[in-house]
């Protein structure tokens, strides 16, 4: 008898079963051994052998193969669904179409509708991109080669305090939570400049910083000034200017997945740090920032790992580098005829230079430091240092084109509240 019978396609499981049963028929295995190998009872094995002798290889193929399912939708129902999908409900996605069909009295599942539409060649109304290939990025070998920084708005104090944002930096090689992390009311330029200043003062200058494509870090607007057009490049953001001054390479992530390490940090902190703040009974940002220092040490002792190379890559801060000037808010201005500069609703007075020199019509660099105080520079020469008027800065300065205006004398550092009569000083 031709046991092989008709050559029909079989699964690997069916071919394995057929091979074991052939060994039994050839006397190379016993029925008990075949039952153990196939995970069947010995009685089931003898029943399969009897069918194999009489029907051949097709006996091992399930009898329902090639037959339509007993639960298959009736032909009339399938045709009705296709008619509605191509006509009245054309352009609806599969889920939306399933909901409309149920409203029509056709109680079919989404998966059934999906299979029916694809088998009939009805294209999706919106093409979906295939998932992009992503590979795990190996860690940097040395501490300081790459630092990731980001902000996480979250209910860090739960219902006990205000909703705030935690800005922090993470070393890629060691997973250390770096100094400078702080709770701030909102993620802004000032918070990142403060983090950068604390990071550089504590550890040194990193080789590169990894960040998202937020407008805090890179320009996203489309406006060009005349100077930028003539120069052929746009001015950086406040943070971008500070990074360039320190020689730090800025690397921008193209997706949240690319920032996986610091995103996992937020998941850990939103679990552990929130609980620790709750246990400590902290209700204010000031107390939370004070709590961060001991928590950072405990966190690093638990989660930090040694780098592949022991020699760090942090670059020492050069002697004489004015870090307060670099990590500040920058703008340019034209000095008015009365040797004042208007910015942020303030009039800043420049004192006389050497020999009573004035600076009218000169283009100067205005810096607002993180403590709120002001500095005015002209060709790297410090012209004026002015105390803070309204506390630390709350928003970044934008570079504007200033044109000379008539002088409006005002008290040094006081808000401008309108012009005064020329030549008559405003009363304090």
**Per-residue model confidence (pLDDT) at position 121:** 86
Per-residue pLDDT of the chain (428 residues; tens, 9 = 90+): 445 545 567 778 888 888 899 899 888 999 999 999 989 999 999 999 998 888 888 778 777 776 777 778 888 898 999 998 888 888 888 889 999 999 888 889 999 999 999 888 887 777 777 777 777 788 899 999 999 999 999 999 999 999 999 999 999 999 999 999 999 999 999 999 999 999 999 999 999 999 999 999 998 888 888 888 888 888 899 999 999 999 999 999 888 778 888 999 999 999 999 999 999 999 999 999 999 999 999 999 999 999 999 999 999 999 989 999 999 999 999 999 999 999 888 899 999 988 889 999 999 999 999 999 999 999 889 999 999 876 677 654 544 443 333 333 333 443 333 333 333 333 33
Give the distance, in angstroms, between the CA of residue 23 and the centroid of all CA atoms in the same chain. 60
pTM of the predicted model as reported, rounded to 2 decimal places: 0.65
At residue 8, the pLDDT reads: 62
Residues 247-292 have pLDDT tens digits of 999 999 888 778 888 999 999 999 999 999 999 999 999 999 999 9
Give yes or no for a contact between 211 and 252, defined as CB atoms under 8 angstroms apart. Answer: yes
Cα separation, 416 vs 145, whole angstroms: 47
What are 169's two structure tokens?
């930096």
What is the C-alpha radius of gyration for the chain, rounded to an integer number of angstroms?
36
Report pLDDT digits (tens) over 211-237. 999 999 998 888 888 888 888 888 899
Q: Which residues pair with 342 in a beta bridge?
A: 347
pLDDT of residue 406: 37
Answer yes or no: are the C-beta atoms of 329 and 335 closer than 8 Å.
Answer: no
pLDDT of residue 393: 77
Give the model's pLDDT for residue 365: 94
Asked if 178 and 132 touch (Cβ cutoff 8 Å), the reply is no
pLDDT, residue 418, reads: 37
């Amino acid at each position: 008898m031709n046991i092989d019978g008709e050559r029909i396609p079989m699964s690997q499981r069916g071919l394995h079963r057929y091979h074991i049963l052939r060994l039994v028929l050839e006397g190379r295995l016993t029925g008990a051994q075949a039952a153990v190998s196939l995970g069947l009872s010995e009685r089931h094995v003898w029943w399969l052998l009897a069918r194999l002798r009489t029907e051949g290889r097709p006996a091992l193929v399930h009898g329902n193969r090639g037959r339509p399912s007993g639960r298959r939708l009736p032909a009339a129902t399938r045709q009705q669904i296709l008619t509605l999908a191509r006509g009245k409900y054309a352009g609806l996605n599969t889920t939306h179409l399933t909901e409309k069909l149920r409203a029509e009295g056709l109680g079919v599942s989404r998966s059934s509708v999906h299979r029916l539409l694809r088998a009939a060649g009805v294209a999706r109304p919106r093409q979906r991109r295939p998932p992009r290939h992503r590979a795990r990025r190996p860690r940097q070998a040395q501490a300081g080669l790459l630092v990731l920084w980001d902000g996480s708005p979250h209910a860090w104090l739960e219902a006990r305090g205000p909703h705030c944002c935690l800005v922090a930096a993470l070393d890629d090689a060691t997973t250390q939570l770096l100094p400078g992390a702080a709770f701030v009311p909102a993620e802004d330029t000032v918070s990142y400049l403060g983090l950068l200043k604390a990071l550089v003062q504590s550890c040194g200058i990193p080789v590169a910083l990894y960040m998202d494509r937020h407008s805090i870090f890179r320009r996203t607007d489309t406006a060009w000034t005349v100077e930028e057009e003539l120069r052929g490049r746009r001015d950086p953001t406040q943070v971008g200017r500070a990074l360039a001054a320190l020689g730090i390479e800025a690397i921008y992530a193209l997706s949240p997945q690319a920032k996986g390490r610091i995103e996992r940090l937020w998941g850990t902190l939103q679990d552990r740090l929130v609980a620790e703040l709750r246990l400590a009974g902290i209700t204010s940002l000031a107390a939370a920032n004070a709590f961060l220092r001991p928590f950072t040490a405990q966190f690093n002792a638990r989660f930090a790992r040694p780098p592949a190379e022991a020699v760090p890559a942090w670059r020492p801060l050069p002697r004489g580098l004015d870090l307060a000037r670099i990590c500040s808010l920058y703008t340019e201005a034209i000095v008015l005829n009365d040797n004042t500069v208007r910015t942020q609703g303030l009039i800043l007075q420049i004192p006389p230079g050497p020999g009573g020199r004035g600076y009218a019509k000169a283009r100067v660099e205005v810096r607002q430091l993180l403590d709120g105080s002001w500095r005015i520079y002209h060709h790297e020469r410090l012209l004026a240092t002015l105390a803070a008027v309204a506390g630390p800065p709350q928003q970044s300065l934008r570079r504007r084109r200033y044109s000379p205006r008539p002088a409006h004398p005002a008290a040094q550092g006081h808000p401008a509240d309108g012009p005064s009569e020329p030549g008559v000083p405003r009363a304090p």
